[in-house]
Amino acid sequence: MTSLLSIQQLSLRFAGREILNQLDLDLHAGEVVSVLGSNGAGKSTLLKSILGLQDAAEQTGKILIGGIDIAQARNQALSHLAYVPEQPAVYGHLSAIENIRYFLSLGTISQSADIASCLTMAGLPEPSWHRPCSEYSKGMKQKVMLAFALAKQAKLLLLDEPNSGLDPQATEELNQLIVQYKESGMGVLVVTHDVLSAIAFSDRLLMLSNGQLQPVALDQEAFTLDSLKKLYQGQA
């Protein structure tokens, strides 16, 4: 079985500083992987690399999405992927449906799923579909973005800090949604600070430090504040 996301020997230097150092990662369908890391560890850089937005001169290594090299066929590779930024990127003056329709018009997406059913699946209540998004809460906006990922029929979901700024209930809903996506056969890569949530929905937990990903073996029961501190300090 080929992996949805495969990063091989990825190194990246920026302004003379080594940010990523021979990093490897494999992510399969039906798997949720969370990447932790302290501020400045290179999480955003890693995301930009996966999105193919880094300067080719600064970067060595290989990134395959759905088996396609992003450096060679970026558009084709990206059509398998949906990226959900930390701040939901919806246009406030458009409704949920209009937003998704607009985003779909930008890419080279040939086929897309029915938007209404995607919104239903993402758990956005139907009465709000046609209201401008500026009236939504952050959790609702997040759901619009996730519905878009479904509409795009992406196999790989890239989530950047999905829980930041959400209240406990919205966080809980989101966590369930991620599990749901995973069960439908998607691969999910989450970059987050929220260790508790990460433990809740992840199959694997990785710590980004010194430009490499280290597996973290932690289960919820053994998790304490002390161990968390150690976890972050150890790599600092």
CB of 45 to another protein, least distance (A): 12
| Strand ranges of the sheet holding 32-36, from the earlier edge strand across to the other edge | 81-84, 156-160, 187-191, 32-36, 204-209, 212-215
Q: What amino acid occupies position 45?
A: T
CB of 151 to another protein, least distance (A): 12
Environment class of residue 26 by beta-carbon count within 10 Å: exposed (0-12), middle (13-18) or buried (19+)?
middle
The site for another protein (CB under 8 A) is made up of 47-48, 51, 53, 75, 78, 81, 83-87, 89, 91, 93-94, 98, 101-103, 105-108
**Using CA atoms, how far apart are residues 135 and 115, in angstroms rounded to an integer?**
20
C-beta closer to another protein: residue 164 or 235: 164
CB of 117 to another protein, least distance (A): 21
CB of 47 to another protein, least distance (A): 8
Tokens of 211: 């430009």
Cα distance from N-terminal residue to C-terminal residue, the chain: 36
C-beta closer to another protein: residue 160 or 203: 160
C-beta closer to another protein: residue 8 or 134: 134
C-beta closer to another protein: residue 93 or 230: 93
